[in-house]
């Protein structure tokens, strides 16, 4: 005889397809970044290549990413509080800060080029371009979803009824949580990138 599982316990074993897709995406991205950084580590150990320190603008970009994460957290809090103005404003600020990050990152690459930090001269510089470029592409990949949230919010935040329906939609709440998770994940990847290059430089200095 088949055992009956209560509905509340059954929900514990259910994972929304959106969550599964997000977990798979983050897992594949983690594997990609780990693979490239391990390849860089292999080059350092076996081919004695010179290490580099990312330009200071990379630190500034880290601050911008952390600010964007804080803003999207504020959007989540405003969503739970049914604060339409704060919710829309926080999402728009998140977009603005993310675009500033992208502009600043392009400026960082231009600075590296002007200073003679070319991939053809130093493999470490090439890895820095590759890893930061991969991160840049993943930021671009998240922008359409953020823009869609802003567009939907501006469209629906007009009448009390549409506002109530929007804030009571469980699927919308889930998508916002997943978008927030993705934004935090991008921050984590960037911090990993910067810390990794600084750590490799410190190890090379210590070992001589």
Longest dimension (CA), the chain: 74
So what's the pLDDT on residue 164?
76
Q: Comparing C-alpha atoms, which of 156, 18, 169, 150 is closest to residue 91?
A: 150
C-alpha pair distances (Å), 5 with each of 1, 13, 49: 13, 11, 59
So what's the pLDDT on residue 137?
95
Least confident of 7-16, 70-79, 102-111: 7-16
Give the domains, in start order, of the chain with CATH numbers: 56-207 (1.20.120.80)
So what's the pLDDT on residue 131?
93
Percent residues over pLDDT 90 in the chain: 52
For 116-151, the pLDDT digits (tens) are 888 778 888 999 999 999 999 999 999 999 999 899
For 148-186, the pLDDT digits (tens) are 989 988 887 777 777 777 777 788 888 899 999 999 999
More confident residue, 201 or 61: 61
Cβ proximity of 133 and 189 under 8 Å: no
Residue labelled with tokens 């059954």: 10
Tokens read off for 54? 């990312």
Q: Comparing C-alpha atoms, which of 79, 97, 76, 53 is closest to residue 168?
A: 79
Tokens read off for 63? 């601050």
So what's the pLDDT on residue 6?
47
So what's the pLDDT on residue 207?
66
For 68-86, the pLDDT digits (tens) are 999 999 999 998 888 888 9
């Amino acid at each position: 005889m088949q055992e009956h599982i209560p509905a509340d316990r059954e929900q514990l074993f259910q994972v929304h397809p959106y969550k599964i897709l997000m977990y798979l995406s983050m897992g594949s991205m983690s594997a990609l970044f780990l693979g490239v950084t391990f390849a860089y580590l292999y080059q350092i150990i076996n081919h004695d290549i010179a290490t580099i320190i990312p330009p200071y603008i990379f630190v500034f970009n880290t601050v911008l990413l952390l600010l964007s994460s804080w803003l999207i957290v504020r959007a989540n809090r405003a969503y739970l509080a049914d604060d339409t103005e704060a919710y829309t404003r926080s999402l728009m600020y998140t977009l603005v800060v993310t675009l500033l990050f992208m502009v600043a990152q392009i400026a960082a690459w231009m600075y590296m080029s002007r200073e003679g930090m070319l991939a053809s001269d130093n493999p470490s510089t090439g890895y820095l371009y590759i890893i930061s470029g991969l991160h840049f592409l993943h930021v671009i990949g998240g922008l359409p979803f953020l823009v869609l949230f802003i567009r939907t919010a501006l469209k629906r935040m007009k009448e009390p009824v549409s506002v109530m329906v929007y804030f009571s939609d469980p699927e919308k709440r889930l998508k916002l949580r997943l978008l927030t998770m993705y934004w935090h994940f991008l921050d984590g990847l960037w911090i990993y990138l910067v810390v990794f290059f600084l750590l490799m430089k410190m190890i090379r200095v210590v070992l001589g």
